[in-house]
A and B are shown apart, each in its own frame.
Chain A
C-alpha cells in the first residue's frame, strides 16, 4: 500500500516536472532560437514583397534654361514628375550634369537632388558662357529599418546644351520701371510748373501747423525742447525727413531763444544733425547760442537709447518733444514717457506698425507721407511744393487704378491685376 502511494507521488512529481519543462520551453524557446526564425520578406516602398524595387517611370519633359533676370551663374532645371511619383515608387530625383565637350556631353556627375514631388532644381554652381548638359534620374530605394538595401535608378533623356549668362535688364521688374517713370515724370512736371510761377494749393497739415505752437509753449514755460530723430541711421529716408524738420524746429528755437536738445542714436546722424542745427542758428542770427553739445550721441542700442531718453525726459521734464524719423518698438516707450510728464508731443514716422502708438500717445502725428511732405510744407519753396503736387496726382492715378481693379476683379476679369504683378 505504501509502495503504491510512493509510486503515485513519484508519478505526480514526474508529471509536474514534465509540465513545468514544457511550459518553460514554450516561453523561452522563441527567445532562445529567435535568430533562427526566417527574416521578414523584403519590401519596396509600396510594401510589396520583392527582392529588388520596381523601376520607376523616368521623369519627362526635362528642361534646362538659363535662370532669367539674374546676374548669371545659375541654370534652372525643371521636369514633369514621374508617373510613379504619386504612387510612392519614386523616393527622390537626382540631378546629373556634364560639361560640354567637342563631341557632345562629357561624363555626368551628380550635382544635387530633389525630394519626391519636387520638379525644379536650381544649379547655382555654374560658370557663365560654359556649355552644360543635364539629366534627371528617378530613384526607387528599398529600405529596411532605415537602411538602404538596394535602389533602382532610371534616367531621363539628356537635355542641353545650355549656358548661363548675366542679364542686362530684369524683365520681372519692368512694371516697377513703368511706375517709377510715370511717378517721377509727374513729380518733375509739377516741379517745372511750380518753377514757372504757377500757384500750388497744399492742404493744411495739423502736425506741422502745430510746430510753431509747440516751440512757443516751451519758450513760455522756460523749458527745453527735445528732438528725437529716430533710432535708424542716415541711410534711412525717414531719418533724412526727420532731420529736415529739425532744421525748421532749430530755427524757431533759436529765434525764441529756447534750449533745444537732440539726443541721437547714430554717430552719422549726430554729425548731420549738428550741421543742420548750426545752419539753423546762423540763419536765425543766433550763432552765439549754438553749442555742439546740444546734439548728443547716446548709444546705437535700441533699448539703451529708449532708456537714456526716458531718463532725460523724466529728470528734465521738457515742455515739447518731437519724435520724427524711423522708430520700432521704442516708439511707444518714448511717447508714453513724454506723455506722462505732460509734454506736448508731435510725432511722425513712416513705420505703419508704430503709427497707432504715436496716435494714441502724442498730441499730433504726421502719418506716413505727411512726414515726407514736411520739408516742402515748412519751406514753402515752389519747387518742393511742386513735387508734392506731382505726388498727389500719382496718388490719384493709383486710386483710379484701384477702383478699376475692384470693378474688374468683381467681374472676374483679372487682366488689370496682372499688370501690377512684380516677378522677383
Chain B
C-alpha cells in the first residue's frame, strides 16, 4: 500500500517558513518582530523622510538666497533642470564616466583575474598588490593622481613622456574627463578583480578536465566554460559599479570641481553645485529625483540577481 506522504524535506521547509499561526508561537513572533523593528523603522525613516522632502522641494520654488518665496511651481523645476546648460553635459558625462569605467574594469578585471588564477610564485603578494587601490580613500586617490602622477611638470607621467622624448600632457586641462575616468577605473578595477577572482575559484575543475580530454584548447575552455561561469559575477560587478558610479562625487570635487566649464560635471556634481553652491534647493531637488529614478532602474536589476542568490540552495 503506497500512500502519498509528505517527505521530511517538505516538513522542514514548512517549519522554516511557517507563518505565525502554525509554526511559531505568538510570543516568539512578537519577540522576533521586536528584534527587527528598530532597524526597519530607522531605515524606513531614512528613506521616506528625506525622499518625500526632496519630492516636496522639487515641486516648489525654494532658493536659500530668497527665503520665504516658496510657492508651488509644479514641474517647472524639472523643466529648468533639464534645460539647464549643465544638464546635457551632466547626463553625457555621467553616461560616459559610468560606461568607460565599466568597460575598463570589466575587461581588464576578467583578463587580470584569469592571469592571477594560474599558480605562480608570489601569487598571494600579487593579489594583495592588485586589490590595494580599492581600499584607498577616494580623496587620497584623486590627489595622488592629480599631483604626483598626472602633474604636467613634476608628475611621473610627465617624466615618462619626457623620457620617450614626447611633450608631457597636462591631463586635467586637455583631457579632464578622461583623467577622471583613469582615476576611477584605477580605484574600481580591484573590485572587479576581487569578485571575479573569487568566482573563478569556484570553477568546476572536473568540468575543465573533461573538456580538455574532449579536445578543448585554452580559447575554447575560456569561451565555453569560464566565461559563462563568470557571467553572473560580471553582472553583479556591472550592477554594483553602476549604482555607485552614478553618484560619483569625491573625485570630481577634489580635482576639477566640475570644470573646466561643465566638462567633468556629472549628474551628482551638478545637483551638488546647484544646491550648495547656487543654493537653488528646488532645482537641485528636481535633479536629485531624476538621479534617484536612474539609480532605481539599475538597482531593480541588481536586486533581482541578489534575490535569486538568496534562494539558491547551498
Partners in one complex: no
Interface set of A (CB-CB < 8 Å, partner B) = none
